[in-house]
Structures are given as structure tokens and as C-alpha cells.
Structure 1
Amino acid sequence: MSVLDLAREDIRAMAPYSSARMEASGGTVLLNANESSRPPNIPGGDGLNRYPDPQPRALVNALAELYDSDASRVLVTRGSDEAIDLLVRAFCRAGRDAVLISPPTFGMYAVSARIQGAAVIESPLEPSGALDADRLLAAVTPDTRLVFVCTPNNPTGNLVDIATLRRLATELAGRAVLVVDEAYAEFSGARSAATLIDEFDNVAVLRTLSKAWSLAGARIGTLIAHQDVIGLLRRIIPPYPLPSPCVDAALAALSYEGRRLQRHHLQEILGERSRMAVELARLPGVREVLPSHANFLAVRFDDPAGTYRRLYAAGIVVRDITRYPGLGDALRITVGTGNENDRVLAVLRAGVPA
């Protein structure tokens, strides 16, 4: 059975939109796309009068090399959000199919499913934050098309080990696509689920340059999957998803110098994460600092609402995650610079009444 047998028949059968850039490339006089013949009179405007390459070859190749994959398995998207949306639209029929998630987790899986009219099945994480593979697999129904697993998980920071992911891929083969969200993978050092794609065509992996590569504003995400899945999603992705300045920013970040700076920044974050975990755990009013393999810490407080207000009054904005299942007393604190982290600790140590 092919993974495409799980996809919507109408998507498999449709003829994709053929953009001017897809139909022809090269040439010196470009009169096929109804673009302006002159660039805008703004700083950095050269070339912005032309539509960008739908999937820039240089960027696709750089990302394939970065993630130790093949260019035929790479689709570049506007952040991971677009890849999630494409997967849901390609595999879920409105009113018939479902996605499976393990809350507390990234909210866009459920949002994209509900926009599409797909059902959302929940298999909650354990109180410790661990994923119970047996319970997750027991929750899979014949209508389940996508199973989302976030590792490191947002907002708890816990990992799902590669052996568990392999088991899930095995059990879901012919039944559903296992979508592994590795947005925070660089902070964990764990083996990527992309290594399973040679063996399982029902594994898809989400990566992003938003976190460890400091490009949240550029919106560069990557889907790594079997080439048949990539081909399917290219049928429905918008014709020009990647703005040229964002592509240029990504290529600069992935250059030799960009990678050197990224390694330095990553080590700084890991060091600050360890320091903050220790210092926060010593503070009165802190119940627990959850172990994290990401660039944030989920922290349980005696008074999360009051703590949030104190930090906000000092100009420090953290994430209130008390609405998430099992995290009714928690705030999520991104690991900042050393000075930013010192400010957080100083406010919490002061204990100024809210």
C-alpha cells in the first residue's frame, strides 16, 4: 500500500496550477508572467518586480544538506504552519477524516484540522509529559489520517525517543501518516525522525529556521517526506509561497559564516537553559521546572497569574499556558540572552506583590 492511498482522491486526481515560473525559466526578456518590467523605487528593490522561484533550487539543496536528506524529499514552506495546513488539506476529507494529537501540544494541529472540517482526536500526554504510545495507538480510528507528534514538545519540552517513533511508524503503516514536528530539534541533539523515511513512506517531518536559526520573521519551514508526499503537496501549495528577501535571508543564514554564528548562539542558549533551570527551581513560589530539550522552560508556580502580572509589569512577557491540559499552574519562559534571563530572575526574587 502506498502512502498516497491515504490521501484524498480528489487531490490525487487534480491538475495543479501551472505558474509562469513553473512553465518556463531562464531567458533575458521576461514577458510571460504579467510582472512589472521595472523594479520598485525602494531600497533593496532590485528583482522584487519578478515572481520568485516556487521552490528555489539553492535553498532546497541547502536545506536537504542541512537535514541530511535528499532534495526530492524537501518542500520549503512559509513556516511549519503552512506545511501542517497542506498535510491536513491533502489527507483529510471534511466531515469524514480525523487527526490525532497528544495535548498539551502545539495548537495549530487542531486549528488546521478544524478549519478543514476534520475531527480532532486527543490522546493526552502523561502527567510527566511523556507520550504513552500504547494509549495513542489505541486512540487511532479507521478515519484517522494524520497523527501529530511534537518532539521536543511545545509547551512541555519533553522528547519522544526514536524507538517510540519507529514503533508508531510501524503500527501506523497503511493506516495514517505520522507527522513528527521537530521545530526545536536543534536544542535536543536527538536523532531526527527523517532517518525513518527510507523505511517508512508514512513518516513526515517538520523543521523550521524560526527557532535555532533566528529567522522567525522570515517564515522558512521545511517538510521532509517521501517524494510522493512532496509531489502531492506541491499540487496544492500556492504558486509563489516564498518571498525573495526571505529566501536570501535563509541562504545567508545557511552560509559558512551563518552556520558558525548559529553554532555559537545555540551553545549560548543551551548554557542559559541549564542555568535558568537551576536558578528558577531555587526560587520560592516555584513548584517545578519541567525538564526541557527545547529553547524554553515550562515552570509551575504557586501563583501563576500573579507571577505573570509581576513579570509583565516589569516589561517581561512570558507565555501563559495555564489553559493547556495538565498545565493549569504553569508559565512558559523562553530562554533569552543572559541579561534578559537575569531580569526575569531579579523580578521573581523580588516578589513584588501583583
Structure 2
Amino acid sequence: MSAAADTLRPASNPLLLVREDLRDFAGYQSARSQRLQGTVWLNANESPWNNDADHEGALRRYPDPQPQALRNALSELYGCAPGQLLAGRGSDEGIDLLVRAVCRPGGDAVLVTTPTFGMYAVSARLHGTRVVDVPLVESPQGWTCDFAAIAAAVRREGVKLVFLCSPGNPTGTLLPLEDIASLAREVGGQALVVVDEAYLEYADAPSAIGLLPGQRNVVVLRTLSKAHALAAARIGSVIADADLIDLLRRCQAPYPLPAACTAQALQALAPTARELTAARVAAIRSERDALQSALSALTGVRRAYDSRANFVLARFDDAQAAFDSLLATGVVVRDMRAAPGLGDALRISLGTPEQNRQVLSALAGSVS
């Protein structure tokens, strides 16, 4: 297709949703971004000697901004092409890059569906970008997303980024993939639909990555922090149209991935490590369902929601008493009472079977 024809079909080209002043932005060209060959490297102002603590001599050199081995491993894990993936410092960097690259400060808006992950709104507000909220709807069946209201808000409010968390944090709700696809089609020329799948491994469900071939305005966020137990390594991925990934790479900091973290991630993505991860994810699913059922049976627990993530959200008659009782036994959970609509709620991450029993034992005394 010619460039002129592509311009006439904005939904086909996500770059037309990017800030106009950044579409040709070259970004910072670091010494490692230049693919040069040599044996004496004097182009990055690095020390010619190792630090005494660096016994292997690996730390005095700047790392590859996007290590190909890591991109290959992550793209194989998620089922996308390496050119569709940008690795970075957790999902947080991906969120921040998208807001800065797409939204004009003071001119555009992002849309969130509260209660949801707080960093979407934080990144937007730090960038001077309006936040439009289309809250999730609570019903006896759980939490649902009002996709029609989201589409209307995109048109009405000048929204450029729609952030959907699936499974949701803190709700644990998995959004229907067909509804995400329909939304992406409806707002194709107006907004990117960003699906944060930080907890998808626990849902045992297909990824929105499968929508990319037919819908170029879909963006997916993934992370190794949760199921792969690498929270401290800070390895996240943005998966999207290859042209959009190329632009985000140009907006990224010069050396986002510490070499030690890359090495740890590659070890964690080896076949034997992935087999162990899969077994532990299955164990978490089983423990999650048992915890949700046990919490629902406790007097004083108003509701424990079904979850497709590695946590359970619960409402209490006296959330403060429940929180204090857990702390008294050394158990720290997330107090959600400051979140919109969750003034009586706590979010309980799944631990080991023994730790989960400790949660139930502490709550049995405080809420009965």
C-alpha cells in the first residue's frame, strides 16, 4: 500500500496517533546504538579498568540497549515477532513511554477504568495529561467493563490512550477478548487500546497479542515480575505494531536494561525454568480458588471476588480490624480503602499454602 493510501486510512497506521512532533524524532544515539565492529572500544567514555568488585570485567561497559537474545526469548515466550517487542524497566516504563509519545501535554487525554492500576493516572498527570475515568461496573456477577461508554468517552474527550488491565488489578477480572477487539476497531483512528496483561499467566487465557495482525492500534504490556518471579530485575515488554515499537525505542532512555538483569531474565526463560514457573502458576491458581472460597465463608467478609490473577480482593464489615489482625500476626496485605469504590476492601496476594492458611487463621479471629 502506498504512503498516501495509508494516510487516508488512519486506523491502519498507529504512528498517526503519535504526537506529530515526535514522528520523525531520532532520539539519543548512544555509543552502543551504533553497530560498529572493533577490538579496542574507546567510543563511550568508559573506564579502561574493571572495578575491584567486578571480578568478571562485565560491568565497566554499557549494556546493549535492546539485547537481541533477550528480545528473541521474550518474543518466543509471548508469541510475537522480535520487531514487535520493546523490553524495558517493567511495565511502568512502557506506560510512561506511551503517554509521553502519544499525548500532547495539556491537549490530549488518557482513559482509565477505576478501580485499576494507579500508574496509568500517575504517568498521565506527571506529563500534564488529562485523565478520563469510566469506572468498572460492579454487579452480583463481579466487575464488568462498560465498553460502549469507553468508546463514547474516546470520541467526546479527545482520548488518545485507553488503558485496560486484564486481569484487573485490584479486581482480578479478565476482560472478554472479543470486546477488546471490538473497542479497538471502533476507536481505531482515534486512540491506542493498551491492554496490561501483567497477570495473564494466572488466567490461563489467550492474550490480546493475537489481535495485533488485524488491529494495529492494540498495544499489550507484559512483565516477568509476577509469574516469572523477577520483580527485582524489572523486565517488562511493550508489544505492538513494529513501527510503533521503533518510535518508542527512540523515545527510551539510552541504556534501560542492566546487563545483570538481562542475564537473570535469560536464565529464567530457559526451558527447565519455564517448566517450574508453569507448575508454580498452576499451584497459585489452585490456592487462589481455595482462598476465595474460604474467605467467602467467613463471617464478617462481605464479599470475596472471583479472581483470574494471583490475588483475591475482599470486602469486610470492619476492614481496619481485619488489617490490624493480619499485621499482628506478621501478614502484610494491600489496603485498598483509598481506591474509588473500595472503602471496605483489602487485596490479598497468594503466598505459599502455609502463608495462605496463616491469613485465614488471622482473619477467622478478627471478623467472626
Measured after TM superposition, the shift of residue 142 of structure 1 is 5.5
CA contact under 8 A between 2:299 and 2:367: conserved in structure 1? Answer: no
TM-score by length of 2: 0.93
Give the alignment of 1:105-254 within 5 angstroms: 105-127=116-138, 128-140=142-154, 141=156, 143-254=158-269
| Letter aligned with residue 299 of structure 2 | P
Work out the CA distance in 2 between the residues paired with 1:48 and 1:318: 37
* Per-residue CA distance 1:245-296 (angstroms, 9 max, x = gap): 1001100000012111111211111111111111111111111111100000
**Pair 1:49 & 2:63 matched:** no
> Which residue in 2 is equivalent to 1:317?
332
CA contact under 8 A between 2:321 and 2:367: conserved in structure 1? Answer: no
4+ aligned runs moved over 2 Å, structure 1: 24-28, 43-46, 350-353
1:15 maps to which of 23, 26, 29: 26
Shift in CA distance, 90/284, structure 1 to aligned 2, threshold 3 Å:
same
Measured after TM superposition, the shift of residue 39 of structure 1 is 2.1
SS at match of 2:23: helix
> Which residue in 2 is equivalent to 1:337?
352
CA contact under 8 A between 2:321 and 2:366: conserved in structure 1? Answer: no
Stretches of structure 2 that go unaligned for 5 or more consecutive residues are 1-9
SS at match of 1:111: helix
Measured after TM superposition, the shift of residue 31 of structure 1 is 1.1
**Equivalent pairs: percent with the same residue?**
50
> Which residue in 1 is equivalent to 2:278?
263
> Which residue in 2 is equivalent to 1:71?
82
Measured after TM superposition, the shift of residue 26 of structure 1 is 4.2
| Letter aligned with residue 148 of structure 2 | D
Shift in CA distance, 163/310, structure 1 to aligned 2, threshold 3 Å:
same
| Letter aligned with residue 98 of structure 2 | L
1:287 maps to which of 264, 281, 302: 302
Range moving further from structure 2, 255-264 or 35-44? 35-44
Work out the CA distance in 2 between the residues paired with 1:50 and 1:303: 55
Cα RMSD for the two superposed structures: 1.3
SS at match of 1:129: strand
TM-score by length of 1: 0.97
Work out the CA distance in 1 between the residues paired with 2:68 and 2:367: 54
Work out the CA distance in 1 between the residues paired with 2:174 and 2:21: 36
Aligned residues: 353
Measured after TM superposition, the shift of residue 68 of structure 1 is 0.4
| Letter aligned with residue 265 of structure 2 | A
Work out the CA distance in 2 between the residues paired with 1:220 and 1:166: 27
Measured after TM superposition, the shift of residue 36 of structure 1 is 1.2
CA contact under 8 A between 1:149 and 1:179: conserved in structure 2? Answer: yes
CA contact under 8 A between 1:310 and 1:352: conserved in structure 2? Answer: no
* Per-residue CA distance 1:77-136 (angstroms, 9 max, x = gap): 100000000000000001100001110000000000011111000100001311011111
Shift in CA distance, 6/142, structure 1 to aligned 2, threshold 3 Å:
farther
* Per-residue CA distance 1:2-38 (angstroms, 9 max, x = gap): 2111111111132211111111344322111111122
